Structure 1
């Protein structure tokens, strides 16, 4: 039996031709914790600000005068549901939209 020797970091760099930029990318993929410790304060601040901006801007802005939808359950024969689902798919709509449109017309 032959035992395989684990390659050192230097051997990996030499064999695969890592330069400084690709080494940093490699470390980030592996999640090397040293890299974060070596980051300058400016980069850490920029990263923190970018994350905060992303969190604050998540989702679409709420419309002020928009009526909220309420969820209801309906009992429908499977054959009717299947036909409605086929029609909705052809029209690019959902069953919910079909039911809403029907009830809107019915209530007028």
Structure 2
């Protein structure tokens, strides 16, 4: 498999704040044209397209052409991997919060 067809790691894809914002914007709508996404940033259309390409490589977005327009849609499925990884830490912090609560109640 050559490097242009390899799946990008979800964690790498969401590491960038611009890509996280794109995910958030796509989560709010069924499908969003590229020009509407670009309006939400102070970077050019090409830069937004590059970020969307990284999200697409991680299978976090899909796109379709409608005439001359490209529309993007969120595919949240791969975010389950992030949720699963974070669930361990949620348990960790919940346990720590309970210990802190106990200590504070004793004082």
TM-score range, shorter chain: under 0.3
Q: Which has the larger radius of gyration?
A: 1
Q: TM-score, normalised by structure 1?
A: 0.26
Q: TM-score, normalised by structure 2?
A: 0.26
Structure with the bigger RCO (C-alpha within 8 Å, sep 6+) is: 2
